[in-house]
Amino acid sequence: MALAGAVLALGDPLFSKGVDGGVLLIVVGKAVATLALLLASVVLMIWFERKIISDMQNRVGPNRAGPWGILQTLADAFKLFTKEDLLPERADRRIFRLAPYLSVVPAFLAFSIVPVGGFVTIAHHRTQLQLADPPVGILFLLAVSSIAVYGIMLAGWSSGSKYPLLGSVRASAQMVSYEAALGLSVAAVVLITGSLSTRDIVIDQHGHLAGFLPNWNVLRLGFIPFVIFLIAGTAELNRPPFDLVEAEQELVGGYFTEYSSMRFGLFYLAEFMNTITMSAVNVTLFFGGPDGPWFHSVRWLGGIVWFLAKTVVFLFSYVWLRATLPRFRYDQLMDLGWKRLIPLSLGWLLVLAAMIVSRPWGFSVVAGGLLFVALLARAVMVGRSATDELAPGPVGEAG
- Spell out the per-residue pLDDT of the chain, length 399, in tens: 333 433 343 467 777 777 778 888 888 999 999 999 999 999 999 999 999 999 998 888 888 888 888 888 888 888 888 888 888 888 898 999 999 999 899 989 999 999 998 888 887 888 888 888 889 999 999 998 888 888 888 998 998 888 888 888 888 888 888 998 999 999 999 999 999 999 999 989 888 877 778 889 999 998 999 999 999 999 988 888 888 777 666 656 678 888 888 888 898 899 899 999 999 999 999 999 888 776 444 566 778 889 999 999 999 999 999 989 888 888 888 899 898 899 899 988 988 888 887 767 666 766 776 676 677 667 767 766 766 666 665 554 444
Q: In this structure, is residue 374 part of a structural domain?
A: no
pLDDT at 247: 67
Q: Name the DSSP letter for residue 327.
A: P
Q: In this structure, is residue 112 part of a structural domain?
A: yes
pLDDT at 186: 94
Instruction: Say which residues have a Cβ less than 8 Å from residue 381's Cβ, sequence separation at least 6.
Output: none
Task: Give the span between the Cα atoms of 148 and 102, in whole angstroms.
Answer: 6
Phi-psi region of 238 (alpha: psi -120 to 50; beta: other; left: phi over 0): left
pLDDT at 297: 46
Q: In this structure, is residue 372 part of a structural domain?
A: no
pLDDT at 6: 37
pTM above 0.95, yes or no: no
Task: Give the span between the Cα atoms of 19 and 210, in whole angstroms.
Answer: 44
Let me know the angle formed at the C-alpha of 50 by 99 and 66, rounded to the nearest 5 degrees: 100
Q: In this structure, is residue 299 part of a structural domain?
A: yes
Compute, in degrees rounded to 10, the torsion defined by CA atoms 54, 55, 59, 61: 50
Q: In this structure, is residue 95 part of a structural domain?
A: yes
pLDDT at 307: 92
Q: In this structure, is residue 384 part of a structural domain?
A: no
Please tell me the total count of domains within the chain. 1
**Residue 156 domain boundaries:** 2-360
Do the Cβ atoms of 309 and 280 come closer than 8 Å? no
Do the Cβ atoms of 199 and 130 come closer than 8 Å? yes
Q: In this structure, is residue 369 part of a structural domain?
A: no
Q: In this structure, is residue 337 part of a structural domain?
A: yes
Instruction: Say which residues have a Cβ less than 8 Å from residue 182's Cβ, sequence separation at least 6.
Output: 228, 229, 232, 233, 236
Would you call 41 helix, strand, or coil by DSSP? Answer: helix
